[in-house]
Chains A and B, each alone.
Chain A
Amino acid sequence: MANKGFDLVIKVGGEGGEGVITAGDFLTETAARAGYWAVNYKSYPAEIKGGYAQSTVRISDDRVFSTGDSFDILCAFNGEAVEKNMVFLKRAKEENKPKVLVYDSTDYQPEEELENVIYYPVPLSELAKDVMKAYITKNIIALGALSELFGIPEQSIKDAIKAKFMRKGEKIVEMNYKAFDLGRQYVRENLQKKDPYKFPEPKEPQDVVIMEGNQAIAKGSIAAGVKFYAAYPITPATTVGNHIVMDLIKRGGWLYQAEDEIASLGMALGASFAGQKSMTATSGPGISLMSEFISMAGGTELPIVIVDVQRGGPSTGMPTKHEQSDLFICAFGGHGDFPRAILATTTVEDNFYLAVEAFNLAEKYQIPVFLMTDGALAIRSEVFPAPKVEQRPDGKVVVKGNIPYGVDEIEVVDRWVYNAEEDKEGQFRSETGRFLRYKTDTPTGITPMGIPGDPHAMHAITGLERTENSDPRFTPEIRVKQMNKRFRKLQTLLREDADRYYKDMRIDSDNADVAIISWGLTASIAREAAQRLREMGYTVNEFYPRLLWPVKAEVFEEFASKAKRVIVPETNYHGQFAFILRATTNLKDLISYVAYRGEAFIPKEIVDFAKMAIEKDIKKGWFTPSDVYGTVVGAI
């Protein structure tokens, strides 16, 4: 994996509004244009205007799925950016490779030179103001300096710059080229290269896309054929809507900005009842408000996709921070017992494909399906192989690409709609000819839906318990039959579809030193940790399920039986997935390893804990990074 080939982490930090995020985007696109992979984790200021912003771009030969432990190069647009990253710079002395600080010497002068840190002062602000006479070119001057210092392919950056500014005219492109060249020139004339970091030669670019997490959900949903989207703005979910709205209109659909989340799910379910593929996206507080409708969707068997872009809870919590603490509400929220499914994404690429899968499960099983992702993935961008959407001659839409959880393609599923022509025997008709929307004795539990307009499938839906033809009635017999019908759908799902989401599993040994089960963003960090543990000589098994609910117990039990201990890293307090696994499988000895500080794990924290667990022969319990390092640490 990453450690072998080229693998460089560049962080750009500074005042929001100074082009910090844009600079990161340019570096990401440059990587793609030069034939490399990139992951770009952005953090926007919490304030509406100004405040500290940063972009961490990891560029590599092989695909990597996290932004690593820390940066190699920091490009600081001001003194604040240096101060914010001082902990990392100070740590350089314990590390086996140097860190580089490229900084705006107009704004900042280091008081002391830290060990193993290489300093490159560039008067970014001065060059922008005095030479370019345009402060807004500061970030482009910085890119020029970075390009010269580290050999970032000039043509690739220039192409990225051109692509961005083309729309604004030749003059603007020229001005930015000039700023870029100025940065290069300054470095050539004033600085001596002292660090070992060197970008390799550009390669033939691959057929890739660059997407942000929430954009990938939007695009995946469009590929699945979504026609209706209702939502109420909430960080960090809002941008799913921003990204989908125009595409949706172009595809004949509509986005409705609702008055609250109760309304948005109500509307989405109305559209589903009317025959459309339908979705909503929200974050924790919205899921709380939606609970009653979630229960109704499960009870009345309406297909719906609910995207939960998680943020730090409880209550308003930490809206801009990473956390995976909504698993309980997605698995258990809503009153009564009803079937549902949860898919969780580990990368931006996952967001695209699992959005398609979420619609497939919702439409096939007529259940609410949660697509769980989080705020960090929402604004991270990734370079990944371009997905292909094909229409087969039979009309079926097929999504292909490098599907990260190991399936070859996804055939888009459309719901089973009642067709009177095909039902000559009247399987779904009562003796008096009424449509049996909720016939109880089908082997799969699934029954065809009637769509308004069809005179042969008229029926009412009601949240009340009901007969097969949907009249409210709750005798014990009817109740039990209907409940069993609904839950039979989950058994069918476990039988027919679950394995599809369990393929991202690696077994190195039948008696591994450690096994890791993880989900969501943490999985993509655990993956890197596992690789490092292997390089240290440990045997490691890994399992990153995309389906979190329902749970196919035997798959987890068998996986766990092949290791001395199983660690479940996740970023919430309870260890929510481990909790669910303990409840639904015979695995009682799982080790919960949790962080709930509002930041994702870094690979090193999982590596260090795994080593500790192996050395101290830990087999169960609940641990946090504080148990490893003795103190509460943020991004250690």
Chain B
Amino acid sequence: MAVLTAKDYRSEVEPTWCPGCGDFGVLNATARALAELQKDPAKVVGVSGIGCSSRLPLFLKGYNAHTLHGRAITFAIGVKVSRPDLDVIVFTGDGDMFSIGSGHNPHVARRNIDLTIIMMDNKVYGLTKNQVSPTSREGQYGSLTPYGTIDHPVNPIQYMLTFGATYVAQTYAGNLKHMTKIIKEAIEHKGLSFVNVISPCPTFNKLDSYKFYKDHLVDINEELGHTDLTDYKKAMDIAMHWADYYHDPNAKAHIGVYYKVEKPTYHDMVEQVKAKVGHEESIQKLIDVCKPKAI
């Protein structure tokens, strides 16, 4: 097969995002990562929910599914569990994954299903035109909270670590190189990878802008020296305290890998069970067990 370039992973559909939307960067980085890995587009399945961010798989070549708000993970599990030969990537937003779809997060993680989840965290509901999301900072204005929200945000990194994700990282839509590297690693990782991409929404979120992040980012691996990626407590500690900008607007936001361990995936365990149970060639035999037993 000829060598594929990033362009070969893009569909004919043109993105409808606003100019300057961070999601363009995520699309580019994903296409680059897939090209670097020389993945067969026919064997990559992108699955998304609903939101500006969730449009992303429609712009990729291959097999893609733009499903329901909050339900991408469920659909992706069905694809992966029934077809472990496919690479399955979930594209989601902060509202999609941590509001309406949050009930699925613990289970996909604790089962270590071999999916890659890329969440475009713009800390706002973009598609429905500016409501606060579960990751919005306190005081952010939204159409339904014109007084500035009084809700506390969640920290997606902390949650996904708690739930048992085996690869947890954060990157930034303004840094194509870092993003590409992280997404590539996440796809290659065996088990549940969660990548939170800080992806600015210049249209609706004026707080979390490119300008803000310009001097509010710190690389936890390069700059903070977080190198033992199997140290769970350390990963949690960084996520919780070192720069918890979810609660402290002046704190710096992270990019980098928090945690990465090898653990048996759901599929590995399934294979073990299947090997133990064995195969039955004859459907008739499975029916005939309902006959009165011969004495």
Whether A associates with B in a native complex is yes
Is B40 interfacial (CB-CB < 8 Å)? yes
> Does A452 interact with chain B (Cβ within 8 Å)?
yes
B64: chain A residues within 8 A (beta carbon): 459-461
Please, how many residues of chain B have a CB less than 8 angstroms from a CB on the other chain? 57
Which chain B residue has the least Cβ–Cβ distance from A211? B290
Q: Which residues of A contact B270 (CB under 8 A)?
A: 254
CB-defined contacts of B273 to chain A, threshold 8 Å: 249
B288 in contact with A272 (CB, 8 Å):
no
Check: B75 CB closer than 8 A to any chain A CB.
yes
A537, CB-defined interface residue at 8 Å: no
A62 within 8 A of B: no
CB distance from A546 to the nearest CB of B (A): 21
Query: Looking at the complex, which one of A259, A271, A397 makes contact with B107 (CB distance below 8 Å)?
Result: A259
B211 within 8 A of A: no
Q: When the two chains form their complex, are residues B61 and A270 in contact, meaning their CB atoms are under 8 A apart?
A: no
- Residues on the A chain within 8 Å of B76, using CB: 270
Are A271 and B79 interface neighbours, CB within 8 A?
A: yes
Given the complex, which residues of A lie within 8 Å of B241, measured CB to CB? none
Residue on B nearest A276 in the bound complex, by CB: B82
A269 touches B284 (CB 8 A): no
Quote the shortest CB–CB distance from A463 to chain B (angstroms).
7
Asked if B283 is an interface residue, CB under 8 A from chain A, the answer is: yes
> Is A256 part of the binding interface, using a Cβ–Cβ cutoff of 8 Å?
yes
Which of A160, A208, A461 neighbours the largest number of chain B CB atoms within 10 Å of its CB?
A461
Asked if A389 and B290 make an inter-chain contact with CB atoms under 8 angstroms apart, the answer reads: no
Interface-located stretch among A110-118, A215-223, A403-411, A500-508: A215-223
A268 to B79, CA, bound (A): 8
A263-B71, A268-B78, A460-B66 given; A274·B86 CB < 8 A: yes
**Chain B residues near A258 (CB-CB < 8 A):** 74, 107
Contacts between chains A and B (CB distance < 8 A), count? 198
The one of A260, A272, A462 in contact with B66, judged by C-beta atoms closer than 8 angstroms, is: A462
Contact of A387 with B by CB under 8 A = yes
A131 on the B face (CB < 8 A): no
A260→B104 CA distance, assembly (Å): 9
Decide yes or no whether B2 CB sits under 8 A from chain A.
no
A387-400 CB contact bits vs B (8 Å, 1 = yes)? 11100000001000
Contact present for B78 and A269 (CB under 8 Å):
yes
* B58 surroundings in chain A (CB, below 8 A): 460, 462, 471-472
A452/B83 in contact, CB under 8 A = yes
Q: Are the CB atoms of A160 and B292 closer together than 8 Å?
A: yes
Q: Per DSSP, are chain A's interface residues mostly helix, strand or loop, or mixed?
A: mixed
Given contacts A219-B286, A266-B67, A460-B64, whether A455 and B78 have CB atoms under 8 Å apart is: no
Question: Considering the chains assembled together, what is the distance between the CA atoms of A11 and B96 in angstroms?
Answer: 54
Q: Which of B207-222 contact A (CB under 8 A)?
A: none
Given the interface pairs A256-B77, A452-B63, the reply to whether A250 lies near B279 with Cβ below 8 Å is: yes
- By beta carbon, the residue of chain A nearest B1 is A455
Contacts of A170 in B (CB 8 A): none
* A288 to B61 CA separation, bound complex (whole angstroms): 34
Given A259-B107, A267-B81, A388-B284: A453 touches B292 (CB 8 Å cut-off): no
B82 touches A222 (CB 8 A): no
| B57 contact set on A, CB distance < 8 A | 460
Residues of A within 8 Å of B144, CB to CB, are: none
What's the least CB distance linking A355 to chain B, in Å? 12
Known contacts: A462-B66, A463-B66. The answer to whether A452 contacts B291 by CB under 8 A is no
Please state if A250 and B277 are interface contacts (CB–CB under 8 Å). yes
- Per a CB cutoff under 8 Å, which of A166, A209, A228, A270 touches B75? A270
Q: How far is the CA of A349 from the CA of B40 in the complex (A)?
A: 46
Within the assembled complex, what's the spacing in Å between the Cα atoms of A160 and B287?
Answer: 19
CB <8 Å contact, A266 and B291: no
Residue from A272, A274, A472 with most neighbouring chain B CB atoms (10 Å): A274
Contacts of B78 in A (CB 8 A): 228, 230, 256, 266-274, 278
Nearest residue (CB) in B for A167 is B293
- Contact partner of A387 (CB less than 8 A), chosen from B50, B278, B287, is B287
Whether A481 is near chain B, meaning CB under 8 Å from some CB there, is: no
Q: Which of B75-112 contact A (CB under 8 A)?
A: 75-83, 85-86, 103-104, 106-107
Stretch at the interface among B27-35, B41-49, B173-181, B232-240: B41-49
Report, as a range, how many residues of chain A touch the other chain: 35 or more
Contact A256/B81 with A262-B71, A293-B68, A459-B63 known, Cβ cut-off 8 Å: yes
User: Does B295 sit at the interface, judged by CB under 8 A?
Assistant: yes
**A251–B283 Cα gap in the complex (Å)?**
8
Question: Taking the complex as formed, is A32 at the interface, i.e. its CB lies under 8 A from any CB of chain B?
Answer: yes
**A 285-301 to B, binary, CB cutoff 8 A, 1 in contact else 0:** 00000001100100000
From residue B1, how far is it (CB to closest CB) to chain A in Å? Answer: 10
Query: Do B82 and A458 touch across chains, with their CB atoms under 8 A apart?
Result: no
- Establish whether residues B290 and A249, one from each chain, have CB atoms under 8 Å apart when the complex forms: no
**B82 contact from A228, A434, A460, A462, Cβ within 8 A:** A228
Whether the pair A389, B287 counts as a contact (CB closer than 8 A) is: yes
The listed residue (B60, B68, B75, B85) touching A273 by CB distance below 8 A is B75
Of B60, B68, B283, which contacts A222 at CB under 8 A? B283
Residues of B within 8 A of A228 (CB): 78, 81-82
Which of A160, A163, A453, A462 is most buried by chain B, counting CB atoms within 10 A of its CB? Answer: A462
Task: List B contacts of A432 (CB < 8 A).
Answer: 12
Let me know if B65 and A273 touch, CB within 8 A.
Answer: yes
B86 touches A453 (CB 8 A): yes
Provide the bound-state CA to CA distance between A455 and B61, in Å.
Answer: 10
A93 to B33, CA, bound (A): 83
Which of these, B41, B65, B68, B104, contacts A458 with CB under 8 Å?
B41
Question: B60 — nearest CB in chain A belongs to which residue?
Answer: A460
The answer to whether B291 touches A209, judged by C-beta atoms less than 8 angstroms apart, is yes
Contact of B45 among A267, A296, A389, A452 (CB under 8 A): A452
Cβ–Cβ contact A276 & B283, under 8 A: no
Smallest CB gap from B290: residue in A: A209
- How far apart are the CA atoms of A259 and B63 in the complex, in Å? 26
Chain A positions within 8 Å of B43 at CB level = 452-453
Closest 9 CB pairs of A and B: A270-B78, A266-B74, A267-B78, A271-B82, A460-B64, A250-B280, A462-B66, A209-B290, A163-B293
Given contacts A222-B283, A259-B106, A460-B60, list 14 more A-B pairs with CB under 8 A. Answer: A208-B292, A210-B290, A223-B287, A251-B280, A252-B274, A263-B74, A263-B77, A267-B75, A273-B75, A296-B67, A386-B291, A452-B42, A459-B63, A459-B64
> Could you tell me which A residues sit within 8 Å of B by CB distance?
29, 32-33, 159-160, 162-163, 166, 205, 207-211, 215, 219, 222-223, 227-228, 230, 246-247, 249-254, 256, 258-260, 262-276, 278, 292-293, 296, 386-389, 397, 432, 434, 450, 452-455, 458-464, 471-472
A-B contact pairs, 15 of them (CB 8 A): A208-B291, A209-B291, A228-B81, A230-B78, A254-B82, A262-B71, A266-B67, A267-B77, A267-B81, A270-B79, A386-B287, A389-B287, A452-B63, A455-B41, A461-B66
